[in-house]
Structure 1
């Protein structure tokens, strides 16, 4: 889906509003790299190329730009490429995703970015529901007390995690995973994106730590 031509600097400033300082720095680095591509006469604004140049300078690489939290990076690259008349992608175009179908007919790049972020949140919620369904299938009953004096407890019916399953849980909240996705864990045990969006709700990280303990 093409992004409507827009003045790149204004679009950049719009994306930088109300974001984490690290995200803003990454956006400005990507913008500078796009400018350099234009200055040197290159028409290559593919994620692979911009990501490689960005990674060389300590910014987000191609995988980080392609993942769910990289929507703003992709929008900025697309907007700049559209304005400069360059190529956003290499090779054959990929099959349109469900999100792209929702965005059909929406030309405002800022609005497209916000809707894409909303779609990402919905996909995250779906993943949480699938995880909960998997736990239910293991015949485990989770009892949570509302009052502080009530002690939360887990009653399991013959459920024992394998070493591989424990490793998977540990990996889910590991520093490496948090850094890769630019996520953080707050004091409530929530997993948040660098813009403050909730990936997993309160108690997610603390619950995993208790299980592993």
Structure 2
């Protein structure tokens, strides 16, 4: 078994046709160039793309069974320089990152981030309230305005006056006017340009929660 890319390519070229030998040497050249430019990406997708641009085998050709020699050469070279012969899977974006992806205005992006931070503490309460509502649980308003964290018990969930007020303030006319936002019929919160700040059902969920508390 060959230990180095140079040893391997010589063995492969001895058994290959002149055309394939030329393609093998092109693949090795591209791998070396990747190292020279400081890249550790030796994935089939990348090497195949660079190869196809220069008339060599494409990524699809390298992946096929006849491309086994190309893959072996790429893998051997990548191992010799501590490179990656497969693309790293990018982590899935968080909900906040996904929300901000379509926001181009830097000022608006900062404002949305600030509002997201403020609303994060309310998220758990909304989810808990929806869960309890689905189970026809009782949602009650606590008497102590100093309570900030909901306390679950056998009969339902307590929300302090301060917490309920915060929910109402999140979609109040004053808040919407301050940020230049509006609410559509589906319960989405939109910017002046129509970008979605909070998806459908956000406003209706808050209103239902506040109304449910008021009924008790």
Sort the TM-score into its range (normalised by shorter chain): 0.3 to 0.5
- Structure-1-length-normalised TM-score: 0.40
- Structure-2-length-normalised TM-score: 0.40
Higher relative contact order (CA 8 A, sep 6+): 1
